[in-house]
A and B are shown apart, each in its own frame.
Chain A
Amino acid sequence: MTREPAHRRRARQLTMALVILLGAWVLVPIYLLVVNSLSSPAEVNGFPKSFVPSFDTGSLGFFLGFAGVTRALLNSVLVAALTMVLSIGLGAPAGYALSRFEFPGKSSYRLLVLMTRAFPLPLLALPLAVLFIRTGLDDSILGLALVHTSLALPFAILITYSLFSGIPLELEEAAWTLGCTRLQAFRKVILPLVLPGITASAIFAFVISWNEVFAASVLTIQNRTLTAFLLQSLDVSPMPLKFAGGFVLVLPALIFIFAVRRYLFAMWGIANR
């Protein structure tokens, strides 16, 4: 066996160290969150700490019974669901058009879609709040869902664009020659093939809305989503409750992202297994 050159080995060790550091950056907070939310309040505040949780659900139970939490949870689900429907409803047709048609300004349109993400939300929040108050959209589920849709839409467009591009045009043409209209060909041939990917990008839109806290805090007062509610109330809550709240917030997002990770890789151009 030949030994690899020293500089090559050192480069590899450096890469490994970076990977471990980045992994820890994400995983350690999640680990602490899980351990603490599954421990009893006494353990959370006590010392020394155990690295294995005692699976005491006292804090979680108390948190879920806390006034306003269920309401906020429901609001979060409603806003996220609405965001999901809107961004797929608008994004999928846009993705299809991008993949199938040549039109003037196509490449600038694609760039523009991404550029919307470069516009900072805090800059937008105040004028939006004013506009929403004037139109009566303030403090409403629809209003917040619209803002979240504008955040999720670029991803929905780009993911569905890559999905549709992965389906050969020949399949659609074959369906047309076999008696389908454009719409029928889409429904009978394209839709069944992209459905898993569409589901994934829908879930991704859901997660974006679920995690969003800034617009939610600025644009809602009574109808707070879970993130906005937690931001407001956990600040003044005891430590075990903070952990429990964080845990409830992080878990669905983690599960969803894990479920759709393959499609996100595809969107970012990493080869899809």
Chain B
Amino acid sequence: MAVIEIKSVAKSFGSFTALHSVDLAIADREFMVLLGASGCGKTTLLRMIAGLETPSEGEIWIGGRRVDHLPPRERGIAMVFQNYAVFPHLTVYENIAFGLRMKKLPQAEVDRRVTRTAELMHIEQLLKRYSGQLSGGQRQRVAVARALAMEPDVILMDEPLSNLDALLRLEMRAELKGVLAASKTTTIYVTHDQVEAMSLADRISVMHQGRIIQSASPIEVYRDPAARFVGSFIGNPPMNFLPARRVGPGDWQVAGLALSGPSTDADEADFAIRPEDLSLADAGLPAEVRVVEPLGPHVLVTCDVAGHAFRAILDNETRAAPGDRLSLAPLPGRARWFDRTTQRALSA
């Protein structure tokens, strides 16, 4: 049970500014994912919430209590680290019990919680082992069990799945989602993997160069990027961008195609469209096919539109070969527009 408020938090290391004045409110029991490329400040933000870094400026509140000057142990948090940080000199049981013993809980309660969380994470048969005898996936489970056993207000996760192989990652992802939803804690989860972010989050905060660019539900981040960066970062393949020229109020010209768009004063803007939001139609963007990649359910066609690389995901029955000329029309209501200078989204 805890709301987290981050108020104008900034962090610099010497002359390098890792985080520029970030504001973020996270609701009770919300699953918030901080998503961004490496070096965007997401881990720094998480570590400041944990108390492992001190903010240079700003305030952090957890559950109505200002915590930015408290040590980690007094913040009511538990953390899962990227490399698991399972104590090598203790058994799995003692690892999970570690925080409970620090709280001086009676042995019966320690036993109850260790058993319960171990069952939850399916590691009850490993309790007597040491971390050296565990696989990466099993260590990951121990780390999560150790955090859950604390019954914290907030669970912080720093790229917990990035060291697992692809198949295990998929399995753990689904399991984590279930376990964390059942635990009723607020979760902050840091990742650079957009698929992980999409599948886990209630809300995603996309970070770039020490700033939060957009905080919204996964589908909103995907459908309505607040900035050009978000559209180019999220989605595989990412959004297509083309320069647009204004020809009248709300009327725009994109690679020779007339489209209606935002009514702004600027003469130029960026037109954006997701590859799957295109269809073959007579009135469309003139595209010359470069590469055709059949992907099973659909076919990915990389084209050249007015000198710009442009990707379209089309029906798998589409017959196209390099050198072919296609006419690609945006699906109604799916085109997005971005300001050329601020790179922020323009409302159509």
Contact = CB atoms under 8 A, between A and B. Distances in A.
Nearest to A170: B85
B73 A171 contact: no
Interface residues of A, number: 17
B19 interface: no
B38 to A, nearest CB: 17
Contacts of A181: 71, 73
Interface in B67-106: 71-73, 77-79, 81-83, 85, 87-89, 98-99, 102-103
A176 B85 contact: no
Nearest to A178: B99
A174 interface: yes
B52 A176 contact: yes
A94 to B, nearest CB: 24
A171 B51 contact: no
A192 to B, nearest CB: 5
Contacts of A173: 50, 52, 72, 79, 81, 85
A171 B84 CA distance: 9
B201 interface: no
A174 B102 contact: no
B266 to A, nearest CB: 47
B146 interface: yes
Contacts of B98: 175, 178, 188
B73 A180 contact: yes
B89 A177 contact: no
A184 interface: yes
Contacts of B85: 168, 170-171, 173-174
Contacts, number: 56
Interface string A159-185: 000000000101101111111110010
A173 B51 CA distance: 10
A193 B77 contact: no
Contacts of A193: 88-89
A168 B81 CA distance: 11
A174 B73 contact: no
Contacts of B79: 173-174, 177
A171 B103 contact: no
A174 B99 CA distance: 10
A189 interface: yes
B interface, how many residues as a size bin?
Answer: 20 to 34
B212 interface: no
B73 A168 contact: no
A95 B194 CA distance: 41
A120 to B, nearest CB: 41
B78 A177 contact: yes
B150 interface: yes
Interface core residue of A168, A175, A179 (most chain B CB under 10 Å) = A179
A180 B52 CA distance: 13
B73 A176 contact: yes
Interface in A185-231: 188-189, 192-193
A58 B25 CA distance: 85
Contacts of B102: 178-180, 184
Nearest to B99: A178
Contacts of A179: 73, 99, 102-103
Interface string B103-122: 10000000000000000000
Nearest to B50: A177
A171 B79 CA distance: 11
A99 B102 CA distance: 26
A177 B82 CA distance: 14
A180 B100 CA distance: 11
Contacts of B52: 173, 176-177
Given A176-B51, A177-B73, 20 more contacts: A168-B83, A168-B85, A173-B79, A173-B85, A174-B79, A175-B98, A176-B52, A177-B50, A177-B52, A177-B79, A178-B146, A179-B102, A179-B103, A180-B102, A181-B73, A184-B102, A188-B98, A189-B89, A193-B88, A193-B89
The 5 A-B residue pairs with the shortest CB-CB distance, nearest first, are: A179-B102, A178-B99, A174-B85, A170-B85, A176-B72
Interface of B: 50-52, 71-73, 77-79, 81-83, 85, 87-89, 98-99, 102-103, 146, 150
